[in-house]
């Protein structure tokens, strides 16, 4: 299911928009201010963000800037009651993908969502190598490398480790991992996930600077410690 971060401080508009989007089978995480939204963004994986510009605590432009510091590819659509050209240019320069001026038609918003989700799938960047402490993950060859030592990984192990690396030192939610690897959140698949986590831990057991922590009831965190200088 497509997961969307929706940030709007007008509670009446937020309720109506969220209801309409959920009827179209989107999973919506709704926030009322920028700081709350940034916290939510860091705790989960979103397919798209819809940000009102005029927000309390942290405005939509600043929120988009911080989102782009950690994720350069998630589509961002701005919502605003203002139609000034300067605002549009600022939003786009900060990494926004499009603008909708209030009041807007829900069908117009849904059309834009569909366009950006399709574009995201086509342009999804595939990184071939990740560095984790003293290890290197070769995604294409499904290998974990350390010096002259090579460890062959399964497809699921490679995908799982890639997900953890992309959220290094932050929590990757268990449900997001299950959906990404198997397409659904299921108890028995969860047991399989635990087996894969154990296998990855064995691979990293010789490096005390790398740990995969189990955050009970939430998910997992790949922790990479820095050596003291």
Taking the alpha carbons of 71, 59, 98, 25 in that order, is the dihedral positive or negative?
Answer: positive
pLDDT at 229: 47
Does residue 146 form part of some domain? no
Compute the C-alpha angle 13/16/19, nearest 5°: 140
Q: Is the pLDDT of residue 121 over 60?
A: no
Residue 133 falls inside a structural domain: no
Specify whether 8 is located in the same domain as 107. Answer: yes
- Asked if the structure places residue 199 within a domain, the reply is yes
Residues 211 and 170 in one domain: yes
One domain for residues 114 and 14: yes
Give the closest residue to 102 by CA, choosing from 124, 83, 122, 127: 83
114 in a structural domain: yes
Q: Is residue 164 part of a domain?
A: yes
DSSP string, 45-77: --SEEEEESS-SSS-HHHHHHHHHHH-SSS-EE
The total number of structural domains that make up the chain: 2
How many angstroms separate the first and last alpha carbons of the chain? 45
Residues 116 and 205 in one domain: no
- Spatial separation of the C-alpha atoms in residues 82 and 126, rounded to whole Å: 37
Instruction: Please report whether residue 134 resides in a domain.
Output: no
Give the domain CATH number at 92: 3.40.50.2300
State the pLDDT at residue 227. 62
Strand partners, 138: 129, 143
pLDDT-derived band at 89 (thresholds 50, 70, 90) equals low
Spatial separation of the C-alpha atoms in residues 2 and 27, rounded to whole Å: 6
Q: Are 8 and 105 part of one and the same domain?
A: yes
The percent of residues in the chain predicted with pLDDT above 90, rounded, is 50
**Is 114 found in the same domain as 50?**
yes
Q: Are residues 60 and 104 in the same domain?
A: yes
> Given 70, 100, 123, which residue is the final one in a domain?
123
- Ranking 70-84, 103-117, 133-147, 191-205 by mean pLDDT, the lowest is 70-84
Q: Between the ranges 36-40, 67-71, 187-191, 204-208, where is the mean pLDDT highest? A: 36-40
Q: Which domain holds residue 116?
A: 3-123
Residue 166 belongs to domain with CATH number:
1.10.10.10
């Amino acid at each position: 299911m497509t997961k969307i971060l929706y940030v709007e401080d007008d509670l009446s508009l937020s309720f109506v928009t969220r209801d309409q989007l959920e009827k179209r089978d989107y999973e919506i995480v709704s926030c009322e201010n920028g700081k709350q939204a940034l916290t939510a963004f860091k705790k989960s994986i979103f397919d798209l963000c819809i940000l009102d510009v005029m927000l309390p605590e942290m405005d939509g432009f600043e929120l988009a800037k911080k989102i782009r510091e950690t994720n350069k590819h998630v589509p961002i659509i701005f919502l605003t009651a203002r139609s000034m050209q300067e605002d549009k240019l600022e939003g786009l320069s900060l990494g926004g993908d499009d603008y909708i001026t209030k009041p807007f038609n829900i069908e117009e918003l849904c059309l834009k969502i569909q366009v950006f989700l399709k574009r995201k799938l086509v342009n999804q960047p595939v990184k071939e190598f990740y560095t984790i402490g003293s290890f290197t993950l070769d995604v294409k060859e499904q290998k974990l490398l350390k010096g002259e030592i090579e460890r062959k990984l399964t497809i699921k192990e490679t995908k799982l480790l890639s997900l953890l690396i992309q959220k290094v030192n932050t929590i990757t939610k268990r449900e997001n991992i299950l959906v990404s690897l198997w397409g659904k959140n299921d108890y028995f698949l969860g047991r399989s996930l635990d087996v894969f986590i154990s296998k990855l831990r064995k691979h990293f057991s010789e490096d005390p600077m790398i740990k995969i922590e189990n955050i009970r009831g939430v998910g997992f965190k790949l922790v990479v410690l820095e050596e003291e200088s």
